Structure 1
């Protein structure tokens, strides 16, 4: 299970780095629609990851009570 968590964490970091690079590239190229979408993903993806981790922790401890 620890190996799976490490792989998921690494994938999450890679996705966030790619989003940050794309946001920068779209801003430099002055592509407004793509920049806005990429900036939106820079906010939404970490929030979704946090919520999924929170729910996993909540549901994992549910059976112990």
Structure 2
């Protein structure tokens, strides 16, 4: 189970880093007038907020269902 958790954590970190880089690229391209990436910028910024919240919610539900964290 430890290897699975580490792998999923690494995938989550990689996805968040990619979203951060894409947000920066889309924002810069939109500001410099290269194209209209306003929707792509909003989508990648939204993913930077939602993905960590989703991961946290999944971990919280996992702990509750397995009875961990209770005294």
Which structure has the larger Rg? Answer: 2
Stretches of structure 2 that go unaligned for 5 or more consecutive residues are 31-36
Q: What TM-score do the two structures reach when normalised by structure 1?
A: 0.90
Q: What TM-score do the two structures reach when normalised by structure 2?
A: 0.83
Q: What SS does the aligned partner of 1:5 have?
A: helix
For residue 25 of structure 1, what is the aligned residue in structure 2?
Answer: 25
Aligned length: 62
Which segments of structure 1 move beyond 3 Å, counting only runs of 4 or more?
A: none
Q: Whose helix fraction is larger, Structure 1's or Structure 2's? A: 1
Stretches of structure 1 that go unaligned for 5 or more consecutive residues are none
